[in-house]
Amino acid sequence: MSVSVDRQLGYGIIVPLVTPLNTDGSIDTGALRRLVDYVIQGGVDAVFVMGSSGEFPRFSREEWARTVGAVVQHAAGRVPVYAGVGEARWQEVTLRLEMGFDLGIDAAVLAPTYYFPLNQEEICRFYETVGAKSPGPLFLYSIPPYTQVSIEPSTVKRIANAVPLAGIKDSGSDIDVFRSYLEVAAELEGFKVVIGNEGMLEEALKLGASGAVPSLANVFPQLLADVFAASQSGDWDRVSSLCIKIDRINYLNGIIESSMNVVAWKKYALNLLGICGPTMTFPSVCYDEKTEEIIKKHLVENGLSLPL
């Protein structure tokens, strides 16, 4: 029997926010508020602060708390707020869980501890220990490229039967694993499965994903909201058409060779929109003028409306 979670968490499009920075690398809370307004007005169902798109490992605990608190305060109940609480030390994870819910988040998102890859038994022990200490709903987060391990479906089931879980975000690249997560979810009351890999979005929605966590929604929130709405109404031709557009825009993910480029071009796009500056956490990504022109041209060709 599963341990259920009774909480409305705004499944659908959960946008993993970038973290706007001033030129000195400090958190730009004014820009963060503009970004929250922009994505909410674009129709997203929830916001997710301090995830991978938010460059979370490069911020101190104090910066993390300041950013999470600012998002909660400005969202002001308009949409649920998720916060990433991942860290290398489990004691820091439990601290951030407590801090996050004290700040008013609606759910926490937690990947396995990183740097030293965990085996499945260690993953279970980790989540069972910290999950028992969580003051609120907890999402598992499977992101193999950064933790070097996938959370196996049988492991998900074991954890969910030990501690309350709201669901799992899958940012892997194996659709068969995603399908297996959905099979596990069918046996667990209130457990949701959301997709993080935009390249698998159409297939995941057809399989019955409860939502998506697409980084692209920072720049194109309405596009992602439209995809999910079309899936809910069963208009799969429209889903396919919109996902083709998403794939076309995401050509920019490979515009330069950098693991942080996927975030950097979005900050540059948001800078073009007047929402936040393009500054990344040091030492990641600094575009030359030629690359900036390529990015701008591609965005405009694919429907980004720039201010006059």
Establish whether the linkage from the previous residue to 283 is cis, with ω within 30° of 0: yes
Residue 2 pLDDT exceeds 60: no
Which tokens sit at 184? 């596990």
Active site residue 268: no
What's the pTM value of the predicted model, to 2 decimals? Answer: 0.96
d(CA 53, CA 169): 14
Residue 217 domain flag? yes
Q: Residue 148 sits in which domain range?
A: 14-235
HSE-CB at 116 with a 13 A cutoff on CA atoms is 6
Residue 291 domain flag? no
Residue 109 pLDDT exceeds 60: yes
Contact by Cβ (8 Å): 17, 25: no
pLDDT confidence of residue 7: 45
pLDDT confidence of residue 8: 66
Residue 79 domain flag? yes
d(CA 235, CA 122): 42
- We report the CATH number of the domain holding residue 47 as 3.20.20.70
Percent of the chain clearing pLDDT 70 (strictly above): 97
Mean pLDDT confidence for 168-191:
96
User: In this predicted model, what pLDDT tens digit does every residue of 199-246 receive, in sequence order?
Assistant: 999 999 999 999 999 999 999 999 999 999 999 999 999 999 999 999
* pLDDT range class, residue 86, cuts 50, 70, 90: very high
* pLDDT range class, residue 10, cuts 50, 70, 90: confident
pLDDT confidence of residue 75: 98
pLDDT confidence of residue 98: 98
Mean pLDDT confidence for 274-292:
95
d(CA 99, CA 65): 7
Domain count across the chain = 1
d(CA 45, CA 10): 5
Residue 69 domain flag? yes
Residue 111 domain flag? yes
Give the active site residue among 38, 127, 169, 267: 169
Residue 124 domain flag? yes
Residue 3 pLDDT exceeds 70: no
Please name the amino acid found at residue 138. Answer: L
Active site residue 157: no
Contact by Cβ (8 Å): 277, 21: yes
Residue 286 domain flag? no
Give the active site residue among 38, 82, 141, 287: 141
Q: What is the dihedral of CA 210, 18, 62, 151, to 10 degrees?
A: 40
Residue 267 domain flag? no
